[in-house]
Structure 1
Amino acid sequence: MSHDSFDIHYTVNVSSLAGHLIDVSLHINLPSNEGHELSLPAWIPGSYMIRDFAKNLVEVSAKHKDGNAVEIRKLDKQTWKLAANTGPIEVCYRVYAHDLSVRSAYVFDDFAFFNGTSVFLALKNHRDVPSLVTLVKPQLAPCDKWRVATTLPLANTTKHHEFGEYQAKNYNELIDHPILLGNYDAIPFDVVTPVKQTEGVDAQHTCQFELILAGGHRSDTKRMAEDLRKLCAHHFALFDDTPPVDRYLFITMLTGKDFGGLEHISSTALLYSRDDLPSLAQADHMPDGYRTFLSLCSHEFLHTWHVKRTRPAVLQASELSQETYTPQLWIYEGFTSYYDDISLTRSYVTGHESYLEVLGQTLTRLERNAGRFKQTVTDSSFDAWTKFYQQDASAINNIVSYYVKGAVIALCLDLHIRMNTQHTKSLDDVMRYLWQHHGKKDQGTPDDIIHRIVLDDMALPLASFLQDALYTTKELPVAALLNEFGVTLHKRPRIDGSDLGGKPAPRVAKNQFGAAFKAADTGVIITQVTENSPAYGAGLQVGDQLIALDGWQVTTGNLLSIYHQFSPSTQVTLDVLRHQRLKQLLMSVEAAIQDTVYLTVTDQAKLQKWLPSVKS
């Protein structure tokens, strides 16, 4: 296939590592009597926040094939207008790529990563036109061993992992395949899945996977590939249908401490700490950091069905130029957050004890979130653009996470369905319904889709539960439902600020303080204050520099130990610097509240109806 057969052709080259620059030339072979409009998206699917990717474009120009300049002017923050022309036209621009995240673009000497939403200008009225992408190998010293990791379809004779030509059938496909350039490790594994045939003939589907690790590591890749294989096989079995992908990449950028994931049509971009991957020396146990990595992979891979194909109707028509609001994110992120953890146990990568610990941590996050009494989960979904994705210090008091509460709602719904159908159905049936009736048919879901499935199709008496869970701030019946499956929910005070919950504790905090803090040159800086806590009642504010408690200088290491020496109902003084003025506050000491959850199994037989612990 020649270049001339494509009316839109992008050539991409990393031109500077130190400058974090990507050079792009866009060849347009489509004449326009009015002049083409070019634009970049304002946000990327899966991350509901206006990010204005066009702000990173520099030196935008255009010229005819003969080299003469074509007038190009900017219409708004993300749109450019070319003068009328008969073509062909070449538009040249640079992208400043210095956002180390899964959402944008980043260039440095270890690797270059970018999403199409940051790099590929779209032609208005031509978003359905096929395009060609030529990836040029950087002619820079550290890049001699660089390769290409992407699921963007190949063109011509280019092979996987090679620089060369790739293609997309339309703009939406073009921006749904992130691209990593670098010297990385590629760990392959296959998953073979039985496929139902209408004629009754046995068949199999093989999906080729690769775990891409860029940035350097010392991990046990054999173990990782085997665990991921089990997880992916579980997700294929969950939907009980021919998988929608033949090749899938876990594109992982490794750093010292970062975390992130973003789903795509046949890949995911991940950002993770290399130190939390498993080493050969840890083969006999499951490190917490590795368990979290597997959960992240599980989450993003499940999105292959549940977001990338099954999704709210309003998101199907979005052009990514402005916010698109939906109250359904609790379904898509919440349900996925429930399955990401439980799937580790259901695929026998971890035992049910490990899952119950993680579930206890999820319930702890919700328990400590005072905002659950102010915001419903559907409002949280709708307001994701301005509240969830732009959190400030007041977030813990004013908003609830549709990830966390959505996951707990999914747990409750799963247990409710099992109980009301004598364990013949579960939330799995809801997921399969969503796939068969919406995702597979490319039909977006209405806002009341869960009501339609659970109340109408399944005919279950759960209207009151759904009303309370989705449209009120009432507490969820977690403890009662878990008890029906042989699990007892316990609450205790936290140990300290690093206590995530999920486990019993030999010692706990004596008193409740009510504020989070970080180190300062002298004392500590207050970063968060929880409503109805002693710190809140004393008037402690975010940004205050707390230098002494009852006359004793404080640090991050001794503040709580000093505070816990006092008995409840006594009063202590806080010496605070606020806007360069010294203030003294009076705080009443209060006993620690029980805001930390852990779970214990009291009936193994009942638990087996929800969490089988032995592979049959």
Structure 2
Amino acid sequence: MLRKSLAGLLLLLTISMTVKSQIKIGFEISFKEPQAHYAEVEMNISGLAKDYVDVKMPVWTPGSYLVREFAKNIEGFTATAGGKSIKFEKIRKNAWRIYHAKAKDIKLNYRVYANEVSVRTSFITDEHAFLSSTGIFMYPDGMLNLPSTVKIHPFNGWNKVSTGLEPVTNQPFSYTAQNFDILFDSPIEVGNQDVFEFTASGVKHEVAMFGGGNYDKEKLKVDMAKIVEQGTAIYGENPNKHYTFIVHNFEAGGGGLEHLNSTVLGATRTAYTSETGYKSFLNLVAHEYYHLWNVKRLRPAALGPFDYDNENYTTSLWVAEGFTSYYENKLMFRAGFFTLEETAQTLATAIAGVVNTPGSRVQSAAEASYDAWIKAYRPNENSNNSTISYYSKGEVMGLLMDLEITHATKGAKNLDDVMKAMYTEYYKKQGRGYTDAKFKAMVEKISGISFNPFWEKYVNGTGPIDYAKYFGYAGILVKDENAGMKVPYLGVASKKIEGGIIVSAVSRNSAAWEGGLNVNDEVISVDGIPVEAAIERMPTITGKNIGDEVTIMIRRDGIVKDIKIKLKAATSVKLVTQLDEKASASQLKVRTAWLK
């Protein structure tokens, strides 16, 4: 009986797989009104056997942990078979059910409004189209593993397409994706972008620049290649056949989003010729390129296979994103763009940023990771008091863990060894994601010591950062330049409005917090002196002493009132690093092994 049941099940699975293998999915994208920010999408599905099929649009995009409801941008949905309209209905916020009866081939058409400028959302103008695939392409329910083709019809005068998708031989602007995970992980730039190439680590890299800028292509080819090679050196391989950088240059731009074999970067078009601006761009390149290994292949268990209908929760974004922030510093150092002194100071400044965030004493790194969906991308005026960025805290934790491992092994191992071992074990051998416990176990295996106290204090806890101890391992001195200074501090941020100043944030446990000053209070005067500049810069505040009481006249909901506040001392730190000239041989060994 059992044998018959198993045989029956196997037969059903075989039939199901055969039916799915006969289904073909193709998209065509055109642009009738790019000036109005629209893309026209045609989706063709053939080989269907059931009486109906459900098609869905993702609600979020991997790498950006927020439900963005891409279906809100869909208009004019129609379904036809054999040139005739067929019945369909919307069955949930991001899903349509198409009743095709006996028709095996159906055509779906819809328009996508795309006018949100970011690295994670589509935006289309009369100059170009940037297609963030999760907000453009639908997928048949239960068929994420099926391949698809995409044909782009560029608008009049556009002549280039840049994407990580595989091109179809002898078919211009036509591409193929092995499955929908790959399609959704492949953004597309269409227009007249400036394209140049370089080869590094045996991989051809294409750079597509939109928006102009004062960049030097020849210099970028050399410097971006250095970053690629340093990242590849950590893992011993570059898993791509080709890689695409899509760069959007704006008057003021920034940010990036990683993809399987591509990335989208935001940049400031006039910043390439300044040392600070140029290195900032290379930092971004280093961050997003390191994601090629960390996140896109070595990943937390929750981040693949993806559920495109719902949130995908993990407590490990401090590794996935935070360690990537940390490694951008190591890649920049190893590529020769930063000195040891600059790298140490950059990391000390990162620590100060976490220490000076009140939320770092409220929310742990694991909690920040898990709550990314409801907090990280939805900040409010109290976020600084109640949350910490898993990027910022993870960067610091990467530094601490790296130094701890290097110290424990007397320079024989460092965090690189952990990351490579995790990549080998979970991506290459097991082909699955890791849990927080598995990551901890690998850290302990490589270091040879228990990391229970580290996890308790820094991963699941909100303990103070012992930065002097960890930097001390490498013979680096850290000084808090604010230590011992008695500076009166009100504890607010403010912004100018027409005719006045309003409070935009109040820092937890500050004088303003305890005195009852609120966000959106309009400040009229301080000790009777009318406000003419931001509160923090006023002589009536900076000229006072700790413990002094000030009277702040405000307007709240149209009612004028006085608030008396007793000034407290500023608690922020300003960390400055210095290489210890008296460092021991063991400290110097750690210092060398840590970054190189």
Q: Structure 2-normalised TM-score?
A: 0.91
Q: Which residue of 2 aligns with 1:101?
A: 118
Is 2:150 the counterpart of 1:133? Answer: yes
Deviates more, 1:129-138 or 1:214-223: 214-223
Match of 1:381 among 369, 377, 388: 369
Q: Which residue of 2 aligns with 1:76?
A: 92
Match of 2:469 among 474, 477, 480: 480
Q: Which residue of 1 aligns with 2:492?
A: 515
Q: Which residue of 1 aligns with 2:280?
A: 292
Q: Which residue of 1 aligns with 2:436?
A: 447
Q: Which runs of 5+ in 1 are unaligned?
A: 193-205, 495-507
Q: Which residue of 2 aligns with 1:435?
A: 423
1:242-271: CA deviation from partner (whole Å, max 9, x where unpaired):
310121112111111232211000000111
Q: Which residue of 2 aligns with 1:191?
A: 200
Q: Which runs of 5+ in 2 are unaligned?
A: 1-20
Is 2:261 the counterpart of 1:259? Answer: no
Q: Which residue of 2 aligns with 1:247?
A: 242
- The residue correspondences of 1:286-365 to structure 2 (distance < 5 A) are 286-287=275-276, 289-365=277-353
Q: Which residue of 1 aligns with 2:558?
A: 580
Contact map agreement 2:422 2:439 (CA 8 A) in 1: no
1:139-193: CA deviation from partner (whole Å, max 9, x where unpaired):
3xxxx144111111001314xxxx521111111111111001122222321113x
Cα deviation for residue 78 of structure 1 reads 0.2
Cα deviation for residue 612 of structure 1 reads 5.0
Moved over 3 A (4+): 555-559, 603-613
Match of 2:187 among 178, 182, 188: 178
Q: Which residue of 2 aligns with 1:503?
A: none
Q: Which residue of 2 aligns with 1:596?
A: 574
1:177-230: CA deviation from partner (whole Å, max 9, x where unpaired):
1001122222321113xxxxxxxxxxxxx1111222111111223222222111
Q: Which residue of 2 aligns with 1:196?
A: none
Q: Which residue of 1 aligns with 2:15?
A: none
> Structure 1 pair 350/80, CA: closer, same or farther in 2 (3 Å)?
same
CA distance in 1, matches of 2:436, 2:296: 17
Q: Which residue of 2 aligns with 1:46?
A: 63
CA distance in 2, matches of 1:489, 1:543: 38
* % identical aligned pairs: 28
Q: Which residue of 2 aligns with 1:202?
A: none
Cα deviation for residue 122 of structure 1 reads 0.4
1:292-351: CA deviation from partner (whole Å, max 9, x where unpaired):
221111111111111011111222232211011111111111111110122201221221
Q: How many residues align?
A: 569
What secondary structure does 1:15 align onto?
A: coil
- The residue correspondences of 1:200-211 to structure 2 (distance < 5 A) are 206-211=202-207
CA distance in 1, matches of 2:64, 2:464: 28
CA distance in 1, matches of 2:345, 2:303: 35
Contact map agreement 1:485 1:603 (CA 8 A) in 2: no
What secondary structure does 2:295 align onto?
A: coil
Residue type of the partner of 1:68? Answer: K
Match of 1:396 among 384, 391, 394: 384
Higher helix share: 2
Q: Which residue of 1 aligns with 2:170?
A: 157
Cα deviation for residue 547 of structure 1 reads 2.5
CA distance in 2, matches of 1:57, 1:72: 15
What secondary structure does 1:593 align onto?
A: coil
Cα deviation for residue 34 of structure 1 reads 2.8
CA distance in 2, matches of 1:326, 1:580: 45
CA distance in 1, matches of 2:418, 2:511: 44
Contact map agreement 2:250 2:267 (CA 8 A) in 1: yes
Contact map agreement 1:131 1:167 (CA 8 A) in 2: yes
Contact map agreement 1:188 1:225 (CA 8 A) in 2: yes
Cα deviation for residue 33 of structure 1 reads 2.5
Q: Structure 1-normalised TM-score?
A: 0.88
CA distance in 1, matches of 2:304, 2:211: 35
RMSD of aligned alpha carbons? 2.2
Contact map agreement 1:209 1:247 (CA 8 A) in 2: yes
Residue type of the partner of 2:579? Answer: V
